[in-house]
Amino acid sequence: MRFLKQFLLVAAVSFVGATGVQALGWNAPLTLVTGVVAAALALATYAWVVRKTERREPTEVSLKIAAGALGRGVLVGLAMFGAVILNITFLGGYEVRGWGSVSGTIAIFGFMVAVAVTEELMYRGIVFRIVEEHLGTWLSLVLSGLVFGFAHIFNPNATVWSSLAIAIEAGLMLGAAYVATRNLWVPIGVHFAWNFAQGGIFSTSVSGQDAPQGLLDGVTSGPALVTGGAFGPEASAYSVLAGLVVTAVFLWLAKRRGNIMPRRGRTAPAATLAA
């Protein structure tokens, strides 16, 4: 019951926020402000409903660790996509033709703030966290990863491959980030930086979605297995490889820190203050 209460309430707030952001037509200042406000409302809603349904403080979104954990997550996300786009460029699949749009970059920034926060609250904060209590870490990572990946199957230009790719490089990886740190700020930072680097910096398609031009006037061309095709670099084999590498690192950290939860075992702490 608490799963439904938490998920439906956060999803409803997220839907309203996303609708508001999309209705602005990529107006730079309004999209920036609305995206940040939508993220803040979703965070406040999540914290409130967790307190009400679980009778505890939602330390996984504690503001005490937000800045440092977000920063570390952003660095990981930027490094991940930087490695992916560098490899695609090396094979001739990406080209920068000049500068893009500053206003587009600002609008994408605001939009991606809302996307990263709301999706991490729903899929890692609620779906993965609660399922993990019953099924353990390993099975929950697989299930929540698949749910997250195939939630993108209805996106423009999506395929079964692109959904599987997202399940691996994002669903598994972001779940592993949560397990390793037991907070949501790190996966939020990784998620935001990954998305923003794609659209806001390199002007590639993000999960098949249309968006204004980002900071660079960049174009992709070549085999879809390399570039991701019309769906964007998330459907590239390089993204899957990068996701697997980062997932392995996070899971190594999780095991080292004793954060792996066995199936039907004793419940581990919901969050720690160490990122």
Residue 271 has pLDDT above 70, yes or no: no
Report how far residue 119's alpha carbon sits from residue 17's, in angstroms, rounded to the nearest whole number.
12
Chain segment 129-167, per-residue pLDDT in tens: 999 999 999 999 999 999 999 999 999 999 999 999 999
Which pLDDT score, from 0 to 100, does residue 175 have? Answer: 98
CB 200 within 8 A of CB 108: yes
Report how far residue 181's alpha carbon sits from residue 132's, in angstroms, rounded to the nearest whole number.
15
| CA-atom Rg of the chain in angstroms | 18
Amino acid at 147: V
Report how far residue 49's alpha carbon sits from residue 58's, in angstroms, rounded to the nearest whole number.
9
Q: Whats the size of the chain, residue-wise?
A: 275
Which pLDDT score, from 0 to 100, does residue 273 have? Answer: 47
- Computed over every residue of the chain, the mean pLDDT equals 94
Chain segment 178-187, per-residue pLDDT in tens: 999 999 999 9
For residue 221, how many other CB atoms are within 10 A of its CB? 10
Chain segment 210-250, per-residue pLDDT in tens: 889 999 999 999 999 999 999 999 999 999 999 999 999 99
Q: Kindly report which listed range (14-28, 64-78, 144-158) carries the lowest average pLDDT score.
A: 14-28
Chain segment 76-96, per-residue pLDDT in tens: 999 999 999 999 999 999 999
Q: What percentage of the chain exceeds 90 in pLDDT? A: 91
Q: What is the mean pLDDT of residues 105-123?
A: 97
CB 193 within 8 A of CB 76: yes
pTM across the whole model: 0.94
Report how far residue 96's alpha carbon sits from residue 98's, in angstroms, rounded to the nearest whole number.
6
Which pLDDT score, from 0 to 100, does residue 1 have? Answer: 81
pLDDT band at 263 (very low <50, low <70, confident <90, very high): confident
* List of residues 6+ apart from 216 with CB closer than 8 A: 96, 98, 99, 100, 201, 202, 203
Report how far residue 246's alpha carbon sits from residue 31's, in angstroms, rounded to the nearest whole number.
31
pLDDT band at 266 (very low <50, low <70, confident <90, very high): low
Q: What is the mean pLDDT of residues 45-72?
A: 97
